[in-house]
């Protein structure tokens, strides 16, 4: 369930060390759109972080734009920086 309450069913796979998901869905007005999520590990100074990249397409999957680009940092690693 998305943040707006819409139900989105993703399918995915692991490829080249990245976990990739995709989904087709519709807006509240019935317009189709596609979403891609990619989770990829990032090494930084001996700490493994995870990048989550969310992309959306409103032209049938021909082009995608970034919706968000997040970086997850382990709590112990983030506490060391404070």
Is 64 a residue whose pLDDT tops 90?
A: yes
Q: How does DSSP classify residue 50?
A: E
- Cβ-Cβ contacts under 8 Å for 13 (sequence gap 6 or more): 19, 20
Least Cα distance to 21 among 3, 7, 34, 4 occurs for: 34
Cβ count near 72 (within 10 Å): 12
| CA gap 72, 44 in Å, rounded | 12
For the whole model, what pTM was predicted?
Answer: 0.77
Q: Tens of pLDDT along 12-52?
A: 999 999 999 999 988 778 888 899 999 999 988 888 899 99
Is 6 a residue whose pLDDT tops 70?
A: no
């Amino acid at each position: 369930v998305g943040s707006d309450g819409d139900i989105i069913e993703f399918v995915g796979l692991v490829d080249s060390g990245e976990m990739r998901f995709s989904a087709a869905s519709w807006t509240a007005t019935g317009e189709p759109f596609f979403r891609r999520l990619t989770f990829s590990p990032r090494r930084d100074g001996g700490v493994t972080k995870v990048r989550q990249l969310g992309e959306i397409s409103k032209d049938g999957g021909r082009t995608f734009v970034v919706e968000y680009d997040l970086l997850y940092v382990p709590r112990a690693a983030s506490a060391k920086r404070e």
